[in-house]
Amino acid sequence: MVLAEAQPPIITSWTAAEFSSAALIQFRREVLSKSDLDKALNDFDLWSNRVARPVPIDDGDIVQANLFVRRAAKLRAPDALHIAICVRIGARLLTFDKVMGDAARSLGLPVVPA
């Protein structure tokens, strides 16, 4: 499947927080300059507002993420939350994280090849 042919990507406020955190880590490590950081955050905001479909997080997602963490020992709670949201709304997961992808598959969630 070509990603351009997929439904609009889904984004949550948690996804935005994780992106911001990752970008700021790269800034603190001096991998990104201040202007590169600002551009990355601005580009993400523009993309998420124009292309992505926002999906709210609910308490049931957190409960499900807790169960997933207990079933897939290597799964981190933030990744489990993304998986729980995908399961709830019937979406496939796109990730570059092998551990997360493997855990999602083991939990029965379809994963888009990245």
User: What is the number of residues in the chain?
Assistant: 114
- Residue 68: which of 94, 76, 10 has the closest Cα? 76
pLDDT digits (tens, 9 = 90+) for 10-50: 999 999 999 999 999 999 999 999 999 999 999 999 999 99
Q: What is the pLDDT of residues 92-101, one digit of tens each?
A: 999 999 999 9
The answer, yes or no, to whether residue 5 has pLDDT greater than 60, is no
Half-sphere exposure for 26 (CA within 13 Å, toward CB): 15
pLDDT tops 50 at residue 1: no
Q: Kindly report the average pLDDT of the chain as a whole number.
A: 92
What digits encode the pLDDT tens for the residues 44-102?
999 999 999 999 999 999 999 999 999 988 899 999 999 999 999 999 999 999 999 99
* The pLDDT of residue 106 is above 60: yes
Domain boundaries, the chain: 9-54, 59-112
Which residue, 90, 86, 82, 87, is CA-closest to 99?
A: 82
Alpha-carbon dihedral angle through residues 31, 36, 37, 41, given to the nearest 10 degrees:
-140
pTM for this prediction: 0.84
What pLDDT sits at residue 6? 54
What DSSP element (H or E) covers 11?
strand 10-11
